[in-house]
Structure 1
Amino acid sequence: MAEENIVPANTGNIESVDIDSQMRTAYLDYAMSVIVARALPDARDGLKPVHRRILFAMHELGMRSNSAYKKSARIVGEVLGKYHPHGDSAVYESMARMAQDFSMRYLLVDGQGNFGSVDGDSPAAMRYTEARLQKMAEEMLADREKDTVDFGPNFDDSLEEPLVLPARLPNLLLNGSSGIAVGMATNIPPQNLRELVGAINYLIDNYDTIDDITVDDLMKFVLGPDFPTGGMIVGTEGIHSAYGTGRGRIVMRGIAHIEETKAGRYQINITEIPYQVNKSTLIERIAELVRDDKIDQISDLRDESDQRGMSIIIELKRAAQPKKVLNQLYKYTALQSTFGVQMLSLVDGEPRTLTLKRMLQIFIEHRQTVITRRSKFELAKAQARLHILDGYLTALNSIDAIIKVIREAEDADTAKANLMKRFKLSELQAQAILDMQLRRLAALERWKIEEEHKQVRAIIENLEDLLAHPKKILALIQSDLNELAEKFGDERRTQISAEAKEDIHDEDLVADEAVLISLTERGYIKRVAATAFKSQSRGGRGVMGHTTKDEDEVVMLIPARSLNTMLFFSDKGKVYSEKIYQIPDSDRATKGIPLVNVLSLEPNEKVTAAMAVGEFSARNYCMMMTARGKIKRVTMEEFASVRPSGLIAMSLEEGDHLGWVRQTSGKDEIIIVTENGQALRFSEDKVRSMGRQAAGVQGIRLAKDDSVTSMDVVEKDGALLVVTTRGFGKQTPLKDYSAKGRATSGISTIDQKALPEVGKIAAARVVQNADDLTIMTSNGVTLRMKVKDVKQSGRATKGVHLIKPNEGDSVASVARTSAEDLKKVGAQLSESTEKEEAQPKLV
């Protein structure tokens, strides 16, 4: 018979498929496969399939924490061949990560050999390394043989593998997890075991009202993530958001210590770095910043890390400010990094974003299920054993009859049937009696059976009671966790700083140093470090401190600190504000930049007074003085927020202009000095506090040809220093100036008959003996000297030469650098500016 060709019925038919629908279906199938089977951890045991298979395979191989190490290649082969149909590199890298103390907060694999480093070094090949389970991993697998979890077929249906581990520990939160799926990702930070156990105990203690528990209640126990590399978390807002919503942004910082070397310099020692930051890459980035002059105060950089711990040494130049350099490192390197929390995991096979509370609840529910299933398994086993023991006792109580039945039976089956019928035994009991050895008939053996019967009955009663009372299961969960916390718990490694600032602002990168702000008649301004001027003796000619244009004169020289705010007051009574570090830094001999590049001045408006302010407080006041003797007092907080276009500070009479400002405490005294040598001292409370737009009151009564030249605040044990236009000066103790009433003419402060010789008073300042003075002439010549070098004289004397201006030049202003500023700058201002140090050596 000829062979017939059998053709399928649908051969030749073309099935129409919608490409859009097919792509959607195929893509969704692929996406769900990646989400469920590869990238996301299960919320119950916190493990991805590959990690679960590795631990299960090692357990099946007998690689306990107290057994010998086995080659990693053996483990990888076992996992690949039986459970995980993917590449060997995926399995080995996953196993290696569970053995890295810089990746895992609590290790699950005990590795022997090179498993990588925090420098980014890869683990050695799997043929060289060895591994076994850690004790904590055994707790993850405990009781799996007692029907506590479901098993499913492996990839070829030849074996079964657990779909989840019993997990006596909340591993998802303990070690965290990270993974990128399709359209979603997870990034869960690790936590501290003791803190988690405290939170779980609190949840169980309040299980009846668990819905009322808030994230704030849990954060009393779980302070925040606890990274294996330590470091610091800046602020708690990101932690609260992550725990409360499942999403948050946590700012991490390395731990750095500022140390003083034997050479008198400073160095920064970085002992901890943020989680998942590569140490070698961090060092390379710092070196790159030094080469590009973005950080110019580092002289040496080396890695001194060893078995004792991490140590990255950054040596600084002699004049460097360590805090500034450290802030620069935070801003420009990974020494400050962000951990984006995305607490996504699988719940019943579906991805869910979970809060801290929900994660802990899921763990508790998982443990309830595991303990319930374990208890049922043990109960069934105990009941089966009790059943056998009941048969034994029946046989022992009727041993002669039992023997007779057995002897009279034709064969074993008949004996079993006769036993079951006569003594009402089950088949299992009858078989057990037949299998019982004769030695069990001894009196001691009988006693052992009776004791075992009592013990098994007690176990059954306990298990039945446990299953009947869910709260006892919760108490058992607590007991287990407290035992594990005692066994594996340790102190928190990551610090949490609620005070540290997350954002590094410009002022955080600025050295807090003493500076001088100079302003010329034609509106040029510059900032110069106070150390730029060498101290000279009284009567010196000074150094060039300002290169000015023709006919331009220096009118102000104001001491300040670089982190202060400068308030500029104009001749029109307006106030402007600018951070001092924003004013361009210049060499002492340069002219600076036009003030209009710093402030939004109106046409024909000139700055006539300025004041450096450290803090704007309602307790402090701003005292303002005009050339015609008007005075006004305003609280400092009125100027805390000055818009770029300026604010009205004082309303002025026609022809008058605002000339001087000083900060007062509310309990100070004011001293006013005129060009012709009159001085008036009175209490500031004689001037009531006014609004910004008030015009003020009369401060001093002036002669027809006189005008105010200075106003200052009286200090205890201070002196009034006056300097004339021709460079004569003196200091007179303030106690020689008795207090008078406001709006009076005051008393003499110089030999007024000598004014044609010494010139009118150019400036007056209240000084202390430990202060420094900086005197600047109209042509920019500057002299720095000690106040103690200025002779003390009576009020009616003319003084001595302090500076000798060149022909056609005259003293324009006098600035005081206080002893407090001298102490803060950390160096004697009498030293010249140090030469630039050698280029940094980078290792």
Structure 2
Amino acid sequence: MAKRNNVVQLAEVKPVQFGQALSERYLSYALSTIMSRSLPDVRDGLKPVHRRLMYAMRQLRLDPNSAFKKSARVVGDVIGQYHPHGDQSIYDALVRLAQEFAARYPLIEGQGNFGNIDGDNPAAMRYTEARLTEVAEALLGGIDENAVDFRPNYDGSTEEPIVLPGGFPNLLANGAAGIAVGMATSIPPHNVGELCDALLHLIKTPNSRIETLVDLVKGPDFPTGGILVEPRESIVEAYRTGRGAFRLRARWEVEQLPRGQYRIVVTEIPYQVQKGRLIERIAEIINAKKLPILEDVRDESADDVRIVLEPKTGNVPAELLMEQLFKLSDLETRFPLNLNVLDKDNTPRVMDLREALQAFLDHRREVLVRRSTFRLAAIERRLEILDGYLIAYLNLDKLIKIIREEDEPKPKMMKAFGLTDLQAEAILNMRLRALRRLEEFEIRGEHKKLSGERKDLKALLKSEELQWNAIADEVRETKKKFGGKTELGRRRTELADAPAEIEHTMDDFVEREPVTIVLSEKGWIRAAKGHLDDKAAAELKYKEGDAARFAVHAQSTDKILVFATNGRFYTIGCDRLPSARGHGEPIRLMIELGNDQDIVQLEVLKGGRKFLVASDAGRGFIVPEDEVVAQTKNGKGVLTLADKEKAQAFAIVPEGANSVAVLSEGRKLLIFPIDQVPEMGRGRGVLLQKSKGDRLSDAQAFLLSDGLPWGNRTIPASELKFWRGERAQAGRMPEKGWPRAKRFKD
């Protein structure tokens, strides 16, 4: 037998530009992310994974009154039938819907370890159990009554709902967050009682102003409580545009202690802040001495939140201490609002508050009409059957005779009594016990009741006013069940005015005591108690290979100025410096100073003085001390430098100084009048000393009649005549016997 060659027919290969192919595929990915993963639907407030979880749990009959089932069973059903993605992502979504500190109105009731506000992870899905809550039941209500459209699942084996009926305003009540491709959403949770009030007002006044709605929906209501301190004007503007942010603070109180002391207890923290990480951050602030008045932080939480803050002294107002903590930690956060959602046409767009509420109402009206139409069809069918039953009771003997004598009684019955196919089939399926006289009365009673309901439904479907009245009744029922009079629905986030400015600062309460600021050659800084002399400062312990460089006397309430080779001045509070018990801390952790930069001078900030600053290129000027104070870690740029140029000289200008002395690396000295040096706040300055290939080493200002201080001696004015000249000259070499140092102060 001859061997046959297997020939594979290949599809036609078409050349495509790589950029075009990439853009088409990326667009498909972006659309999938936007519509099927990251943005919630405005109608039910759910993303696909949450909607599939709800529906799968309903199919498992996990209603609020049923027994719990393993979370692994739920996740397995969701993966197998509706959401073919990773089990961990689905379980994470399930867990979040069950966490009372994450979801304002939990959609899932969990049993087992579902994590906590500290940030601890939940137990594995095989250990936890879950079922739906009453809120979820309200979202799913009517789903079997043709309330919404269904579509085939990913493999066509079953169907899933496109959207839930949504008998609960879930989008704004529970909020949402997500990042898509090129867009994101961030919706804080709100109080459902307030939302219901706004919905009822919107039913009466469809064109209601945003300001009126904000009177009803006062602002977000977070599950972890806290205090909202955003001004009303900002809240209104955020809801008008659909974009903004809300300033949220922790709730705290003062507990008085003996001897005039007190402690602060934080009882509620901002939404989505992990308590464990928050306490770590406050501990870091204490260790870094960024808030020296705060001594300790403790976590005494049990089922409730209780973070204890211990100040060092009772002299500092608690309000001032907390204001500083609000600035330095997540005890104050800003929660963004970006009401970016998918509308009923599956189009992403940013809505304002009225549009989001109206979209929910429009959806509820559509659900009402569809459910009413479904119910009307069911009633019509049942009434048709009941009419057949009544005909059967009136002609019972004749019917029995037909059934007993005819091989095919159904057509004979339909012809004899004018029955429909449905009626004839129902009569044939009747049980003998239903032929009692009592049953006839019950059927007539049911017929009368259903006829009345049919009449009401037809009137409802014809009248828009009746439809809105029915929706208003549903909203009132939701408010009664989940509103502010219930434990779940009471408002948790307090609304308060924006805090007023406090007159005092923390510096007003720092204890004043003498300290010595020590900066080592390798850049480690610390503050030793008392005013140490040079010998005692040198005897402090240093890291191997390190030694003292600067040691200045100050008070704990002072600030120090640091002048660096990058031409910038930095300001550091002495109370924020580490103690001298250890080696201190690198100064580069306190200021933004590169590793290729060095410190030129360290001085205590006194104010009112003037400084002479110069670069190694010989350019410089005089700058007032008050203009070099920096407010941030980045410092303040004063001396502008060219490429490969660095700040080299710093000197305090004494009162009455009339001369400037400059010294180059080649030991050329030049003395000229100080009025030839301009006073500036910032810039490159003027050329102080001209030299080819030589760099400026040091500069100082002095009173000529007092002589030139250099090293450990002072050169009299009578010996300086030969070196006096004009600014920008080169200068001359010093005489023999003069100091050999290349700096005036070593």
For the superposition of Structure 1 and Structure 2, which TM-score range results when normalised by the shorter chain? 0.5 to 0.7
Cα distance in 2 for residues equivalent to 1:593 and 1:395:
110
Aligned amino acid, residue 373 of structure 2: K
In structure 2, stretches of 5+ residues that fail to align are: 484-488, 513-571, 576-602, 612-621, 623-746
Cα distance in 1 for residues equivalent to 2:606 and 2:296:
35
Match of 2:249 in 1: 253
Q: How does 1:394-405 map to 2 (within 5 A)?
A: 394-405=391-402
Tell me how far 1:14 sits from its aligned partner. Answer: 4.0
Match of 1:227 in 2: 222
Tell me how far 1:10 sits from its aligned partner. Answer: 5.8
Match of 2:116 in 1: 117
- The CA deviation string for residues 177-234 of structure 1, in whole angstroms up to 9 with x for no partner, is 001111111110000010000000001122xxx23x1110101110000001111111
Cα distance in 2 for residues equivalent to 1:3 and 1:149:
59
Cα distance in 2 for residues equivalent to 1:591 and 1:48:
59
1:284 to 274, 277, 280: 280
TM-score by length of 2: 0.66
2:415 to 407, 418, 421: 421
Secondary structure in structure 2 of the residue aligned to 1:145: coil
Tell me how far 1:250 sits from its aligned partner. Answer: 1.2
Query: 2:372 touches 2:461 (CA, 8 Å); kept in 1?
Result: yes
1:595 to 608, 611, 634: 608
Cα distance in 1 for residues equivalent to 2:259 and 2:140:
57
Query: 1:258 touches 1:322 (CA, 8 Å); kept in 2?
Result: yes
Tell me how far 1:438 sits from its aligned partner. Answer: 3.4
Secondary structure in structure 2 of the residue aligned to 1:120: coil
Is 1:440 aligned to residue 437 of structure 2?
A: no
Tell me how far 1:139 sits from its aligned partner. Answer: 1.0
- Count of residues in correspondence between the two structures: 520
Secondary structure in structure 2 of the residue aligned to 1:267: strand
Secondary structure in structure 2 of the residue aligned to 1:190: coil
Query: 1:41 touches 1:47 (CA, 8 Å); kept in 2?
Result: yes
Assess, with a 3 A threshold, how the Cα gap between structure 1 residues 88 and 451 changes in structure 2: closer, same or farther: same
Q: How does 1:416-815 map to 2 (within 5 A)?
A: 416-489=410-483, 490-500=489-499, 509=506, 511=508, 593-595=606-608
Aligned amino acid, residue 198 of structure 1: D
Query: 2:286 touches 2:296 (CA, 8 Å); kept in 1?
Result: no
- The CA deviation string for residues 803-831 of structure 1, in whole angstroms up to 9 with x for no partner, is xxxxxxxxxxxxxxxxxxxxxxxxxxxxx
Match of 1:175 in 2: 174
- The CA deviation string for residues 409-433 of structure 1, in whole angstroms up to 9 with x for no partner, is 2x1x2x2111111211111111222
Is 1:379 aligned to residue 376 of structure 2?
A: yes
Cα distance in 2 for residues equivalent to 1:514 and 1:84:
63
Cα distance in 1 for residues equivalent to 2:3 and 2:99:
67
- The CA deviation string for residues 552-605 of structure 1, in whole angstroms up to 9 with x for no partner, is xxxxxxxxxxxxxxxxxxxxxxxxxxxxxx9999xxxx998343679xxxx9xx
Q: Which deviates the most, 428-437 or 295-304?
A: 428-437
1:368 to 342, 365, 368: 365
1:327 to 307, 323, 328: 323
Query: 2:107 touches 2:136 (CA, 8 Å); kept in 1?
Result: yes
Match of 1:357 in 2: 354
Match of 1:202 in 2: 201
Query: 2:196 touches 2:478 (CA, 8 Å); kept in 1?
Result: no
1:269 to 253, 265, 270: 265
Q: Which deviates the most, 322-331 or 489-498?
A: 489-498
Cα distance in 1 for residues equivalent to 2:424 and 2:573:
102
Cα distance in 1 for residues equivalent to 2:497 and 2:610:
38
Secondary structure in structure 1 of the residue aligned to 2:381: helix
Cα distance in 2 for residues equivalent to 1:99 and 1:597:
65
Aligned amino acid, residue 225 of structure 1: P
Query: 1:259 touches 1:269 (CA, 8 Å); kept in 2?
Result: yes
Cα distance in 2 for residues equivalent to 1:351 and 1:241:
21
Cα distance in 2 for residues equivalent to 1:194 and 1:499:
25
1:214 to 209, 218, 242: 209
Aligned amino acid, residue 305 of structure 1: S
Secondary structure in structure 2 of the residue aligned to 1:178: strand
Is 1:314 aligned to residue 346 of structure 2?
A: no
Is 1:101 aligned to residue 95 of structure 2?
A: no
Aligned amino acid, residue 223 of structure 2: P
Query: 1:46 touches 1:170 (CA, 8 Å); kept in 2?
Result: yes
Tell me how far 1:280 sits from its aligned partner. Answer: 1.2
Tell me how far 1:407 sits from its aligned partner. Answer: 3.8
Cα distance in 2 for residues equivalent to 1:33 and 1:277:
30
Match of 1:341 in 2: 337
Tell me how far 1:351 sits from its aligned partner. Answer: 1.0
Tell me how far 1:4 sits from its aligned partner. Answer: 6.7
Query: 1:253 touches 1:273 (CA, 8 Å); kept in 2?
Result: yes
Tell me how far 1:456 sits from its aligned partner. Answer: 1.3
Cα distance in 2 for residues equivalent to 1:156 and 1:101:
35
Match of 1:73 in 2: 72
Match of 1:692 in 2: none
Match of 1:710 in 2: none
Query: 1:112 touches 1:131 (CA, 8 Å); kept in 2?
Result: yes
Cα distance in 1 for residues equivalent to 2:272 and 2:370:
39
Aligned amino acid, residue 127 of structure 2: Y
Query: 2:296 touches 2:309 (CA, 8 Å); kept in 1?
Result: yes
Query: 1:466 touches 1:472 (CA, 8 Å); kept in 2?
Result: yes
Assess, with a 3 A threshold, how the Cα gap between structure 1 residues 508 and 76 changes in structure 2: closer, same or farther: farther
Is 1:147 aligned to residue 142 of structure 2?
A: no
Cα distance in 2 for residues equivalent to 1:5 and 1:506:
94
- The CA deviation string for residues 712-737 of structure 1, in whole angstroms up to 9 with x for no partner, is xxxxxxxxxxxxxxxxxxxxxxxxxx
Aligned amino acid, residue 385 of structure 1: R
Query: 1:327 touches 1:509 (CA, 8 Å); kept in 2?
Result: no
Aligned amino acid, residue 36 of structure 1: M
Query: 1:147 touches 1:374 (CA, 8 Å); kept in 2?
Result: yes
Aligned amino acid, residue 222 of structure 1: V
Cα distance in 1 for residues equivalent to 2:382 and 2:349:
44
Aligned amino acid, residue 476 of structure 1: A
Tell me how far 1:440 sits from its aligned partner. Answer: 2.9
Match of 1:663 in 2: none
Secondary structure in structure 2 of the residue aligned to 1:146: coil
Secondary structure in structure 2 of the residue aligned to 1:125: coil
Match of 2:644 in 1: none
Tell me how far 1:499 sits from its aligned partner. Answer: 3.6
Match of 2:713 in 1: none
Assess, with a 3 A threshold, how the Cα gap between structure 1 residues 355 and 401 changes in structure 2: closer, same or farther: same
Aligned amino acid, residue 21 of structure 1: Q
Cα distance in 1 for residues equivalent to 2:473 and 2:302:
40
Match of 2:45 in 1: 46
Q: Percent identity?
A: 45
Q: How does 1:120-131 map to 2 (within 5 A)?
A: 120-131=119-130
Match of 1:244 in 2: 240
Match of 2:692 in 1: none
Larger radius of gyration: 1
Tell me how far 1:434 sits from its aligned partner. Answer: 2.2
Aligned amino acid, residue 120 of structure 2: D
Query: 1:52 touches 1:164 (CA, 8 Å); kept in 2?
Result: yes
Q: Which deviates the most, 368-377 or 469-478?
A: 469-478
Query: 1:324 touches 1:510 (CA, 8 Å); kept in 2?
Result: no
Question: After TM superposition, what 4+ stretches of structure 1 lie above 4 angstroms from structure 2?
Answer: 1-11, 504-515, 582-585
Aligned amino acid, residue 339 of structure 2: M
- The CA deviation string for residues 609-658 of structure 1, in whole angstroms up to 9 with x for no partner, is xxxxxxxxxxxxxxxxxxxxxxxxxxxxxxxxxxxxxxxxxxxxxxxxxx
Cα distance in 1 for residues equivalent to 2:458 and 2:15:
61
Aligned amino acid, residue 444 of structure 1: L
Tell me how far 1:398 sits from its aligned partner. Answer: 2.4
Assess, with a 3 A threshold, how the Cα gap between structure 1 residues 379 and 320 changes in structure 2: closer, same or farther: same
Please tell me the root mean square deviation across aligned C-alpha atoms, in Å. Answer: 2.8
Secondary structure in structure 1 of the residue aligned to 2:282: helix
Tell me how far 1:24 sits from its aligned partner. Answer: 1.0
Assess, with a 3 A threshold, how the Cα gap between structure 1 residues 14 and 147 changes in structure 2: closer, same or farther: closer
